[in-house]
Structure 1
């Protein structure tokens, strides 16, 4: 039984290391989002860090429209990045978890 417990602890440590590596990798996964008309483009990492904003000159003449575009486009990009992040981290955690009865039900 002690050997089983040590094996599980090692598996948990491996899972934790795998999750941390996945979180670091998410810094390199880029999500690009565009406004519906393509006048604004934003790029964020899967860790939800803003990397780039590209604004068409047409939007520079209307501050209110630009603000609306920024809010909508950034929110969409952050949402997509968050979904990717959560999916990848959950998969990394689940892959490394030891087979403990009832544990897989808790991860759903």
Structure 2
């Protein structure tokens, strides 16, 4: 028989663990680069850009459009990388706590 009270206890436990992990996401970082490393962007687990580094050779008036494209590409790669890390951290924090119910994907609850 299905134990609803037991499941509710697990859900509350998982919620507490999720809040704890979310408070630690600021310390999680990821980096994306483009232009063979000429532009690098670092983001944190709160999906905020922390730093942007670029090769000195890019900072000219004529290369402004290319530089903009490289920054966008590096930022997008960093955001994709941090999303993977956030999901992995959340999954490991709640692994085994929530029941495996066919058709229910709890993995998407975390970002």
**TM-score higher than 0.5:** yes
Instruction: Tell me the distance in 1 between the aligned counterparts of 2:18 and 2:103.
Output: 19
Q: TM-score, normalised by structure 1?
A: 0.77
Unaligned runs of 5+ in 1: none
Q: Which residue of 2 aligns with 1:103?
A: 101
The number of residues matched between the two structures is 103
Contact (CA 8 Å) 1:35, 1:69: kept in 2 or not?
Answer: yes
Instruction: Tell me the distance in 1 between the aligned counterparts of 2:102 and 2:17.
Output: 17
CA shift at 1:82, angstroms?
A: 1.2
Contact (CA 8 Å) 1:47, 1:85: kept in 2 or not?
Answer: no
Question: Structure 1 pair 23/104, CA: closer, same or farther in 2 (3 Å)?
Answer: farther
Q: Which residue of 1 aligns with 2:48?
A: 49
Q: TM-score, normalised by structure 2?
A: 0.76
CA shift at 1:41, angstroms?
A: 1.1
Instruction: Tell me the distance in 2 between the aligned counterparts of 1:103 and 1:78.
Output: 30
Unaligned runs of 5+ in 2: none
Q: Which residue of 2 aligns with 1:29?
A: 28
> What value does the CA root-mean-square deviation take over the aligned residues?
2.3
Contact (CA 8 Å) 1:18, 1:96: kept in 2 or not?
Answer: no
Instruction: Tell me the distance in 1 between the aligned counterparts of 2:17 and 2:90.
Output: 9
